[in-house]
Structure 1
């Protein structure tokens, strides 16, 4: 146990160091973490660390999906539901079929094995591409489509994966039965996800305690995921639906104290889970290298390269024709302007595969019911890992260059500016509404002049703290003012520390003052406008 804990602490050190390096050289942390895991796995004396597939599918995946869906806007998800569905369902099925065809014709794999491999490598990851795309200042709709696809496509691939495994182990497959089962799973999980979201919010509202509410929020994704998964579904759609329901209905039922503490808690949890996941994915290199000795190296490289090229090209082959051809049978779309080809190119290019694909490959059974070894199991695992490595490193490092070449970040910056102006206007209107309410309360109730003066002072303070848009010369007035306020806060901290050291105040008083300063600094960060954000 002590040795395992030491390994865990070592992984945390590597995670922190790699994340720091990624920030310094401006590279997505997922890329460096995967490479760091590969390097550590090959160092002599480092014990092998296997990534249990059930750890990813049952323990890691639910909070990742839930956290991303809670952070997503239900309104934007609903508005972009059609392109999200085309990618999360249509593109995954198309890619799986393309891989099956190519591997059958060029590698001689049975159709069932090729389709299984295709189902495993078909879905892009939800974590890595978004971490890269958000740093590039892309237009919001691209981010929403990519995030929505990443949330939903795991459900499609896990359902296809189970169909393929059953077909291989039993030797029987019925397309009508599989289609009906797929539709039933989607409908059932949507209803179940809404029910879990409703129950979770009511329990948290009833508890009225931040620690209990955060604990319930941690239980929620597992309740939404495990039950459908145990009944033969994927669990992903239920978790996504639950998260979107809480995202839309939670603001009026979750207390401010819970929100403040919950944001920090979930940010830390997701940071650690994502980082360790990519690090442990890289560690699987040693296990796969040992298995690769049973196959000619040339065959492995050819199969990996072929499948990687197919999944990349299949995404382009689906995105562009799918976007334009649907206008032929959708008259409503004909009246709308043609989609920007640059945006579609970025969506098609962002096809990074991740740990879910590897977990699905590692979860393959060792033997068939007859007792013979599961066919091509080791080859499927090696090819899956190779596709993850090629797409994550190759596409991930190339995406910033592609985005700059297309010049699409200019649209994103202009969109952020318009959003900032709308946000400031909404803040002002909210304060005006509060002031009108204060006038009505003053007229209806017998309030002392001191109370009214205090409330109006609070209103004036909030109004003076409103952020400002960049001025005509492009200077960020709010950021400049915030930087100066931070300097003043720093001087306050120094003075309070000196007062504590001299014995003029107690530690308890110092903590209360520091909390007020921390909240003010956090409020500054929330209001501050950063160019390119």
Structure 2
């Protein structure tokens, strides 16, 4: 009962603190840490002690898996050199630098000092994504942080195991001890990396095979819950990297989910893992703070003492913060010198500065510190030093990153640019669907007409979010009218349910259909409201090659600055305006009367440009692409 009450208290406190942080505009991880640390010194608060097994087996695999399945494998492959440098080179560089500092400041040998360096070296996936999501960072930076923190744990844990063996200590989950040599270390790294990847790939193939035979979302989601442990446990038993195994399995399953799962299973998995990730991320930061009180008590009774331990912790924190940019910027220069490909994908220097200051530590540092065997000399002081680095990096970097990103002009994803990309992607997908529709045998004309109309509405709904006019768009009007209708329908269903005349299962099916429709409408409305007032140009990643635009100017004076020429003559209203870059004709969008598209059909003029304030994107009708 005590355990159940403790778990309930941690969960409720995590949710309350997260809600308060959201209302205050504060970073939830930092507030959770502060509340946990303060509570750890309150005598009435029960001790919440984490064991290595709880962290490494119970928390780390699902947290890594939740991040991996939502991370783009394509983006990681594009940044593979940078991620390898961060997840391997930077970890070893940091561990070595910390070892030099710790040896000078503490009465420990170099092997144990290197173990401390391995503990504090890896930035954490949970901390990185939580802070990046809170403050809003460019997706390229988030990809690098996620890729680094997903893969650097293996380097750190293998380094820790090797250092402890060299110091004559045995870590939990470390496997058999052996004589340490350069060859044995290389074999250990190879076994951890390659073995973990192979086991992760095998777990992916096994789960993929099972999913091809599963057609129930509940069963598929249950398999998803087991996936991180299916990958992690065999890898650890074979003394390979369970971290790499979980990440490999998660990345491959996430990448292949459109093929392996049906739509219902994907929605169920996404919803469930989002909830699990939310609960675990918030709870872990609170629990980390709760460890502080007992650690302080243990260190006060040690030979090193609390004051000296805290000073060494601050020195190690400064070392970690300084070594990161000292590695990142020379490595950036090296990438630019040796590879033309790397030069083309190299992030701007301002994003490099953000990356060098975004090395927050978290759950992996705590887990690695708990792996120190009980007989480790000065163990309480070493664990507290790791806590100081972890908390210090979260507080210092987490609170200053927003200011630094604003000062450097580094911003997160722009909803308007996202909407433009989404419109282009949906237009391409809908076009493929309509071409497939034309080839289907025995078409029903009424059904074909309805499908074509729905396809046009899907495309127009996204394009409508880009304008800034005062006129209500058709999608906004539909949403404004449909939501009250859904509320009335739900009230009627509740009245019917109260009468007891209809089976509960039938009512649940109808209610679920209403919920799906309402959630879709609300989601569309929220995304439309998120579109910001900012200049909008065609994003480079989806801009197509167009010979027609090359022969035309960037902009042109409109023939009629008052509005759509045809609408003005007919006395009708328009929503968004487009201008022909060949003749300056002003027409309305397809969500209005479609006069811009009609002008292309009549004149053959290929490229139009948005005439909405703050928008600079162009569209080629011939090539069907942004230019």
The answer to whether the superposition gives a TM-score over 0.5 is yes
- The residue that corresponds to 1:309 in the other structure is 318
Does the C-alpha gap of structure 1 residues 177 and 483 become closer, same or farther in structure 2, counting only changes over 3 Å?
A: farther
Of 276, 283, 289, 1:269 maps to 276
Report how many residues are paired: 517
Superposition deviation, residue 154 in structure 1? 0.9
Does the C-alpha gap of structure 1 residues 92 and 146 become closer, same or farther in structure 2, counting only changes over 3 Å?
A: same
Residue aligned with 1:515, SS: helix
What residue ranges of structure 1 are gaps of 5+ in the alignment?
A: 368-373
Residue 320 (structure 1) aligned with residue 329 (structure 2): yes
Of 346, 349, 356, 1:348 maps to 356
- The residue that corresponds to 1:256 in the other structure is 263
> Cα RMSD over matched residues?
2.6
Instruction: Give 1:166-315 correspondences, 5 Å limit.
Output: 166-169=165-168, 172-295=179-302, 296-315=305-324
Does the C-alpha gap of structure 1 residues 283 and 486 become closer, same or farther in structure 2, counting only changes over 3 Å?
A: farther
The 2-side partners of 1:306 and 1:49 are apart by 28
- The residue that corresponds to 1:377 in the other structure is 379
| Residue pair 1:413, 1:531 contacting (<8 A) in 2 also | no
Does the C-alpha gap of structure 1 residues 418 and 449 become closer, same or farther in structure 2, counting only changes over 3 Å?
A: closer
What residue ranges of structure 2 are gaps of 5+ in the alignment?
A: 170-177, 534-627
- The residue that corresponds to 1:113 in the other structure is 112
- The residue that corresponds to 1:18 in the other structure is 17
Does the C-alpha gap of structure 1 residues 448 and 75 become closer, same or farther in structure 2, counting only changes over 3 Å?
A: closer
The 2-side partners of 1:496 and 1:162 are apart by 59
- The residue that corresponds to 2:467 in the other structure is 471
Of 353, 357, 364, 2:365 maps to 357
- The residue that corresponds to 2:512 in the other structure is 515
Structure number having the greater helix percentage: 1
Superposition deviation, residue 472 in structure 1? 5.6
Residue 88 (structure 1) aligned with residue 87 (structure 2): yes
Superposition deviation, residue 458 in structure 1? 4.3
Does the C-alpha gap of structure 1 residues 499 and 98 become closer, same or farther in structure 2, counting only changes over 3 Å?
A: closer
Residue 501 (structure 1) aligned with residue 533 (structure 2): no
- The residue that corresponds to 2:422 in the other structure is 423
| TM-score under structure 1 length normalisation | 0.90
- Structure with greater contact order relative to length (CA < 8 Å, sep ≥ 6): 1
Which protein shows a greater Rg?
2
Residue aligned with 2:490, SS: helix
Instruction: Give 1:435-446 correspondences, 5 Å limit.
Output: 435-441=434-440, 444-445=441-442
Superposition deviation, residue 466 in structure 1? 3.8
The 1-side partners of 2:135 and 2:531 are apart by 12
| Residue pair 2:61, 2:228 contacting (<8 A) in 1 also | yes
The 1-side partners of 2:342 and 2:159 are apart by 33
- The residue that corresponds to 2:573 in the other structure is none
| TM-score under structure 2 length normalisation | 0.77
| Residue pair 1:224, 1:238 contacting (<8 A) in 2 also | yes
- The residue that corresponds to 2:585 in the other structure is none
